[in-house]
Amino acid sequence: MRITVLAGGVGGARFLQGVRAYAAGLPGSEVTAIINTGDDVTLHGLRICPDLDSVMYTLAGAVDAERGWGREGESWRIMAELTEYGAEPTWFSLGDLDIATHLVRTQMLAAGYPLSDVTAALCQRWQTGVRLLPMTDERCETHVVIADDNGRRAIHFQEWWVRHRAGIPALEFVQVGLESARPAAGVLESLTEADQVLIGPSNPVVSINTILSVPGIRDALRDGPAPVIGLSPIIGGSPVRGMADACLPVLGVETSAAGVAGLYGARSAGGVLDGWLVHTGDTTELPGLAVRSRDLLMTSPEATAAMVADAVALAGR
Ligand code: FO1
């Protein structure tokens, strides 16, 4: 079975551990993940791809499990030196081990390799067992429009998320570069040749909606042959992880399983979903959408693999 997954960072990484565990039980199966790159940022001259790296480190068993990002056993000596020099930003912490990844990526990009090739090269080392594809090879970044004492202005998503902990109300998300971006090499094929497409329980606004907004990706899902099943990132009105509740209202979407399903839309009504898994007790009623409820807490790769099995069963219903 060829499974293609749309995913963001920390939650997406956990979900992919479960998809990989599920696929391990099906000999000859392949898992491809299309990862959000709207969070990417250049700091201290380094190109940083937080979602790609969180997924890569997690699948490799090298992530700091408590934080969900960066390397296990990390040290922070370079960051301390940068702070001594007063080199901003000091609110975004780069670990010494992690910096090696950014150095390799930045050098390869500068030498002309597309991000998809750079990602494949980095994954060579980590043997992730899942093919990781950036949603696009083009530079494309989420900015957040805020209003504060300095007036109405746009700041990079990372500044809003990490520095301000999404505490300043967002007025709008702007995807810089997205309109002219194309899906990265392999992305459209992975959707049209898949037997099963899954939309992971990642941030629906700044991860999944960003991927879907790359020209060509939404159409490929809508017109593709594979069933598309999504998993709700909202459990009883709260996000499983992250701060999706600070993002959904910006699009006028209710923070609920039903709200997110409405954002993605049922394929029968021009959206992308055929089926929708919600957490026990949550509901969604959308014409043409098959809905099933179950425990959606990703407590272990095995528990998540059971979720994936239910998603696949829902697709075959
Ligand atoms: N998240 C933080 O909350 N603080 C940090 O200093 C931080 C640094 C960082 C460095 C590399 C990396 O790949 C991720 C990092 N993250 C950090 C996580 C990350 O930026 C966000 O959680 C995501 O972009 C949202 O998915």
Q: Would the CA dihedral through 263, 269, 273, 274 be positive or negative?
A: positive
Distance 223 CA to ligand 1 centre (A): 34
**pLDDT tens figures, 67-117:** 999 999 999 999 999 999 999 999 999 999 999 999 999 999 999 999 999
Residue owning the nearest CA to atom 3 of ligand 1: 162
Distance 69 CA to ligand 1 centre (A): 6
**pLDDT tens figures, 257-299:** 999 999 999 999 999 999 999 999 999 999 999 999 999 999 9
Specify the pLDDT at position 112: 98
For residues 40 and 48, is the Cβ–Cβ distance under 8 A?
yes
Domain spanning 2-138+180-316: CATH 3.40.50.10680 = yes
Over range 197-202, report the average pLDDT. 98
Of 14, 40, 69, the residue with max ligand 1 atoms within 8 A of its CB, to mutate for a pocket test, comes to 69
**pLDDT tens figures, 224-239:** 999 999 999 999 988 8
Residue owning the nearest CA to atom 14 of ligand 1: 50
Taking 80 as the threshold, does the pLDDT of residue 17 lie above it? yes
The Cα 54–Cα 67 span in angstroms is 10
Distance 162 CA to ligand 1 centre (A): 7
List Cα–Cα distances, 121 to 34, 56, 99, 115, 137, in angstroms.
Answer: 16, 12, 16, 10, 14
Amino acid identity of residue 61, one-letter, is G
Distance 285 CA to ligand 1 centre (A): 35
Residue owning the nearest CA to atom 10 of ligand 1: 94
Strand-pair partners of 152: 147
Q: Would the CA dihedral through 86, 92, 93, 97 be positive or negative?
A: negative
Specify the pLDDT at position 175: 96
Residue owning the nearest CA to atom 25 of ligand 1: 9
Specify the residue for token string 């179950």. 294
Taking 90 as the threshold, does the pLDDT of residue 172 lie above it? yes
Of 35, 58, 67, 92, the residue with max ligand 1 atoms within 8 A of its CB, to mutate for a pocket test, comes to 92
Residue 49 Cα: closest atom of ligand 1: 13
Taking 80 as the threshold, does the pLDDT of residue 210 lie above it? yes
Domain-by-domain residue ranges, the chain?
A: 2-138+180-316
Q: Mean pLDDT over all residues of the chain?
A: 96
Distance 50 CA to ligand 1 centre (A): 6
Residues 6+ apart with CB under 8 A from 174: 142, 143, 144, 145, 154
Read off the pTM: 0.97
- Which residues line ligand 1 at a C-beta cut-off of 6 Å? 8-9, 39, 48, 50-51, 53, 69-70, 92-94, 98, 158, 161-162
Instruction: Work out the pLDDT band at 309, boundaries 50, 70, 90.
Output: very high
DSSP summary character for residue 206: I
Taking 90 as the threshold, does the pLDDT of residue 148 lie above it? no
Residue owning the nearest CA to atom 21 of ligand 1: 50
Poorest-pLDDT segment among 32-41, 55-64, 177-186, 242-251: 242-251
How many CA atoms lie within 13 Å of 277's alpha carbon, on the beta-carbon side? 24
Residues 6+ apart with CB under 8 A from 275: 227, 228, 229, 230, 289, 290, 291, 292, 311, 314, 315, 317
Residue 50 Cα: closest atom of ligand 1: 13
For residues 308 and 18, is the Cβ–Cβ distance under 8 A?
yes
Of 46, 66, 162, the residue with max ligand 1 atoms within 8 A of its CB, to mutate for a pocket test, comes to 162
Distance 10 CA to ligand 1 centre (A): 9
Residue owning the nearest CA to atom 18 of ligand 1: 69
Over range 113-123, report the average pLDDT. 98
Distance 222 CA to ligand 1 centre (A): 32
